[in-house]
Amino acid sequence: MQMLSFLDTFTAFPLAELEVGKHFYWEIGNLKLHGQVFITSWIVIAILLTASVLATRNIQRVPQGIQNVMEYALEFVRDIAKNQLGEKEYRPWLPFIGTLFLFIFVSNWSGALIPWRLIELPEGELAAPTSDINTTVALALLTSLAYFYAGFSKRGLGYFSKYVEPTPILLPIAILEDFTKPLSLSFRLFGNILADELVVAVLVLLVPLFVPIPVMLLGLFTSAIQALVFATLAGAYIHEAVEGHGGEEHEAH
């Protein structure tokens, strides 16, 4: 993204720095890690765990305060899972789909709401964990593993019949689907979040006050939508693997 570097000449504001493709590397042995992603993801995880502990510390029959909020979140992800997987199948998959939604949602919103860029790093900058391709690919691959696991545990080797089920002519496409699913999942999320952060950053760079606010609000909206889409598609893929063919295709965005 060298093409954006000319914008650095405009920087008169500490908020308005733009660094893309630079990472704050941690090295463990000979492994390289993106430190900024881990820092923000730990904060996201800490938020989620704290909210969960606070919500379940003193469970009441009539929910109040944080318990009510978290019950609303739970009912929301439960509805996602239930809509995709059906009343009978959704329970074992609720933690996976729910955690996907909550992690992506809180990550995205943390990128939009927490002013990460005020915190100085030696290199790179803090941003939403989901704006790093590693995170989204990790989540998408886990989704692939999840639906393979769902298919095998439900139907054993009969799971492979879905590749030749309507007609063997579609075999290449069916195999290709297993690659396009994680690819589209990960790039959709990554692209949306990174693009949103870049747009906001560029606008802040050009006009620091007020003008970026509508774009920021739009960013909040798309962030939430992307979390919903990711969780919904994960549920749809798992459902498809569990049910075999005959289930309608859920494809969106």
Partner 1 sequence: MFDFDATLPLMAIQFLILMVLLNRLFFKPLMKTLDERDSYIRSNQVDAQERLAKAQRLIQQYEEELAASRREAQALVASAEEEAQKIAAQRLAEAQQEAQARREQAQQELDRQKAEAMQALEQQVDALSRQILDKVLGASVG
What does the binding site for partner 1 look like in residue numbers (CB under 8 A)?
1, 20-21, 23, 28, 31-34, 37-38, 41, 45, 48-49, 52-53, 55-56, 59, 61, 63, 70-71, 74-75, 78, 91, 94-96, 98-99, 102-103, 129, 132-135, 137-139, 141-142, 194
Q: Are 24 and 40 in contact (CB under 8 A)?
A: no
CB of 52 to partner 1, least distance (A): 4
Q: Which is nearer to partner 1, 99 or 184 (CB)?
A: 99
**DSSP assigned state of 248:** P
Q: Which is nearer to partner 1, 67 or 155 (CB)?
A: 67
Task: Indicate the angle between helix axes 212-243 and 133-155, nearest 10 degrees.
Answer: 20
SS3 call for 111: helix
CB of 175 to partner 1, least distance (A): 23
Beta strands in 53-94 (DSSP E): none
Q: Which is nearer to partner 1, 12 or 59 (CB)?
A: 59
Kindly provide the b/e burial profile for residues 120-135, where b requires at least 16 CB atoms within 10 angstroms of the residue's own CB: ebeebbbbbbbbbbeb
Q: How far apart are CA 135 and CA 194, in angstroms?
A: 12
Q: In the chain, what is the straight-line distance between the N-terminal and C-terminal CA atoms, in Å? A: 25
Q: Which is nearer to partner 1, 44 or 205 (CB)?
A: 44
Q: Which is nearer to partner 1, 137 or 199 (CB)?
A: 137
Burial of 58 (0-12, 13-18, 19+ CB in 10 A): exposed
Q: Which is nearer to partner 1, 94 or 224 (CB)?
A: 94
CB of 84 to partner 1, least distance (A): 16
* DSSP assignment string, 15-55: T-----S---EEEETTEEEEHHHHHHHHHHHHHHHHHHHHH
CB of 208 to partner 1, least distance (A): 25
Which tokens in the block code for residue 44?
């996201």
CB of 191 to partner 1, least distance (A): 10
Q: Which is nearer to partner 1, 139 or 228 (CB)?
A: 139
CB of 34 to partner 1, least distance (A): 5
